[in-house]
A = this chain, B = another copy of it.
């Protein structure tokens, strides 16, 4: 590797003995040039460590090789984990992921969209805030940039939606809980940031009715994304005041459940499905930490890998076909019951 600095493609082309337009062609698609030429260029590359200026390249292309990823809250391990997998897949496809977090803030979400639009990404994977999203801003964005919506469904936004089958998942858990003990109380936020929570609430109510049980909602009052704390405080109150009408609690998501377990532990309430336990607690999401709670959390798994894989698959097919999808296919991934110690 010679240390001679190459300023631009012109210089590099001269060094490799190939014309600049051909070199340009090579960098856009190595297969598009003759093997003999390719060899020359790649030989030169080994000696001179040149790569095209990314800004100049992107300025002259309608679309870049960038793929934007927006998640609502990256400090939530659920989204961190999904983002990690999506990034890995995107890189494997030869694109460059640009990961942005909205940090739970509507304005930041909008400015993330604007930032991405400027970058002219080939496509965007968007997990919106949900209830607090600026719907109009998102729709505008999706008109201009091919987008796949995942996790939180903003009706009509993007070319496709990949999300959880909240109804199926909720049903499975309720079935399991009722078959193994008392029917569950539903533990959630009154105004959850994420629309999945609303779907889960409704699914709970419907399932309980169908099964002939009386539903009970315990609704936490907090706002924002500090879910463990909200779950903890509300659980402490609910347990202390004996608000629970049954000995079984189904939490709208694992982070609330983690807060619940913490409160129960502190109050000396033994949680679990085993003999001698006075309370059963289940969650929803298969949060990365749910495997290590005390007791380990029975929950519904939403396959991280699958949601990432499917989202990227659809994005790639959109990019290849170079056209928008006429319909808006909706993929709802089934959840899987993860039986652990807590319920």
Contact = CB atoms under 8 A, between A and B. Distances in A.
A228 B294 CA distance: 13
A311 interface: no
Contacts of A84: 74-75, 101, 103
A98 B119 CA distance: 13
Given A77-B80, A288-B75, A294-B294, A55 B59 contact: yes
A59 to B, nearest CB: 4
A53 interface: yes
A324 interface: no
B258 A119 contact: no
A81 B288 CA distance: 16
Given A228-B291, A258-B289, A56 B54 contact: no
Contacts of A296: 262, 266
B289 A228 contact: yes
Contacts of A288: 75
Contacts of A81: 75
Contact of A289 (B87, B103, B108, B289): B289
Contacts of A229: 291
Interface string A295-308: 11000000000000
A96 interface: yes
A265 interface: yes
A178 interface: no
B118 A292 contact: no
29 contacts: A53-B118, A54-B118, A54-B119, A55-B55, A55-B56, A55-B59, A56-B59, A59-B59, A75-B81, A75-B84, A76-B80, A84-B101, A98-B98, A99-B101, A229-B291, A232-B292, A258-B289, A258-B292, A259-B292, A261-B292, A262-B291, A262-B293, A262-B294, A262-B296, A265-B295, A266-B295, A266-B341, A289-B289, A293-B294
Interface of A: 51, 53-56, 58-59, 74-77, 80-81, 83-84, 87-88, 91, 96, 98-101, 103, 108, 115, 118-119, 228-229, 232, 258-259, 261-262, 265-266, 288-289, 291-296, 341
**Which 7 pairs show the lowest CB-CB distances between chains A and B?**
A294-B294, A265-B294, A55-B59, A262-B292, A75-B80, A55-B58, A55-B55
